[in-house]
Amino acid sequence: MSLAFQASLFDSPEAEPTLGSLDGLRRIPLAAGAWLDVLPGWVSDSDGLFEQLVQTVPWRADRREMYDRVVDVPRLVCSYRDGDPLPDATLQSARDALNTHYAPDWAEAFATAGLCFYRNGGDSVAWHGDYVARDRLQDTSIAILSLGAPRMLAVRPKGGGEALRFPLGHGDLLVMGGSCQRTHEHAVLKTKKAVGPRVSVQFRPSYARSETGARNSPSSSRTQTSPVVRFSSRVENR
């Protein structure tokens, strides 16, 4: 897979990724009990981590049924279930640190990891609330670690309202919490700007699922066959 990622100016080539303190998280309250926690630059020296994930994760190209046709999901994905070893020790440490930090607030630990690979500005995820979590009455937290080229994560209230846009850069952390999955939608929209590749790592409690609802483990996804995800409530390919 070719990589047009411009490595950070500050990473030394042999540097190991380092997790910063989560004490620096800043909370942004949204309407209706939703909130976001943001921490730019949580993971530093992460060029090697990014490149390793791009090269070694068994990325899968999903297809999904949209009304009467089957379309490509516009990004590559790989899902790690509760108990699956993660593809890099830093991701394990990141999930442990998040669980330690948030443990006093809720009982549902981050357990799974969904990885998305956005190859360029044409890759995207359409407006959605994460599967299962959006239909629950209880609050859910989902943490996103962004690596590689910056992309904008947009968040808006369900049913209309102003969209907030958060630039997620290399090593940045954003946690969606409270009622966010059921009262708000989020998206990484396509852009015509020339943007490099990006990997998003989403940590979720075990019941919550990514936008497509896909839950296959890496072992079941190593084949290059692309299962069709039957799920068509939104227009995906825009």
Ligand X SMILES: O=C(O)CCC(=O)C(=O)O
Contacted entry of ligand X, Fe ion, none for residue 181, CB cut-off 5 to 8 Å set by kind: none
The single residue among 37, 45, 47, 130 that binds Fe ion, judged by CB under 5 A, is: 130
Residue 211, interface with Fe ion (CB under 5 A)?
yes
Rounded least distance, CB 125 to ligand X, Å: 5
What residues make contact with ligand X under the rule CB under 6 A? 114, 116, 125, 130, 144, 153, 186, 188, 200, 202, 210-211
CA distance 164 to 80: 29
CA distance 16 to 34: 34
* Pick 19 or 180: Cβ nearer ligand X: 180
Residue 236, interface with Fe ion (CB under 5 A)?
no
* Pick 90 or 124: Cβ nearer Fe ion: 124
* Pick 150 or 161: Cβ nearer ligand X: 150
Q: Exposed, middle or buried, 133 (CB in 10 Å: 0-12/13-18/19+)?
A: buried
Segment contacting Fe ion by CB under 5 A, of 17-25, 133-141, 190-198, 204-212: 204-212
Rounded least distance, CB 29 to Fe ion, Å: 20
* Pick 19 or 133: Cβ nearer Fe ion: 133
Rounded least distance, CB 128 to ligand X, Å: 6
Contacted entry of Fe ion, ligand X, none for residue 178, CB cut-off 5 to 8 Å set by kind: none
Contacted entry of Fe ion, ligand X, none for residue 188, CB cut-off 5 to 8 Å set by kind: ligand X
Segment contacting Fe ion by CB under 5 A, of 68-76, 106-114, 158-166, 205-213: 205-213
Sites of contact with Fe ion (CB under 5 A):
130, 211
